[in-house]
Amino acid sequence: MTTTPIEAVDLFSSALHIHPDGDVRATGRRMTGGDAGAWQIATFHVESDAEVHADHWEMHPEAEEAVCCLAGGVRLFLRPVEPGESGEAGEAGEAESVVRLTAGTAAIVPRGRWHRLELDAPSDLMSITLRTGTRLEPRTEAG
């Protein structure tokens, strides 16, 4: 039996990719794309809205996303669902909904639901999702 040395992984500079066969690998973080079928766990220390792409909506078509606030505080904005879109039921023209996350809390964003973040304070965040097919869309002043 051979043994592979176990080393610490810096979660603020790497991501963990968990594959369906049970394989777990430390790799570079990606906002879009990723290993086919692998769940990405990514941890971020952020100090500004620019670091959480507050000016863009994000959507993951292949899976829900757990957005976790480990320290600090963040607001998670969910774009209203347009008729014919997947995600939560909603009516066209409704306002963005907001979930406030504080240290030790998380929210689960439904598959296919457009969302974005804004900081209340410098924060440590963790994201868990399948990145395959992730889309980013610039935010307009109207939403």
pLDDT in tens, 65-117: 999 999 999 999 999 987 555 544 444 456 889 999 999 999 999 999 999 99
Answer yes or no: is 143 within a domain: no
Hey, is 46 helix, strand or coil?
strand
Structure tokens at 91: 């009516």
Answer yes or no: is 73 within a domain: yes
Structure tokens at 62: 């292949």
- CB distance 101 to 69 below 8 Å: yes
Q: What pLDDT does 87 receive?
A: 47
Structure letter (DSSP) for residue 11: T
- What is the C-alpha to C-alpha distance for residues 114 and 120, in angstroms, rounded to an integer? 20
Mean confidence (pLDDT) of the chain: 87
Q: Compare 2 and 68 and report the one with higher pLDDT.
A: 68
- What is the C-alpha to C-alpha distance for residues 48 and 110, in angstroms, rounded to an integer? 25
Full residue range of the structural domain in which residue 56 is found = 15-138
Answer yes or no: is 69 within a domain: yes
Structure letter (DSSP) for residue 142: T
Residue whose pair of structure tokens reads 């879109």 in the numeric block:
85
Give how many domains the chain has, as a whole number.
1
- CB distance 37 to 15 below 8 Å: no
Q: Compare 27 and 87 and report the one with higher pLDDT.
A: 27
* Rounded percentage of the chain residues whose pLDDT exceeds 70: 84
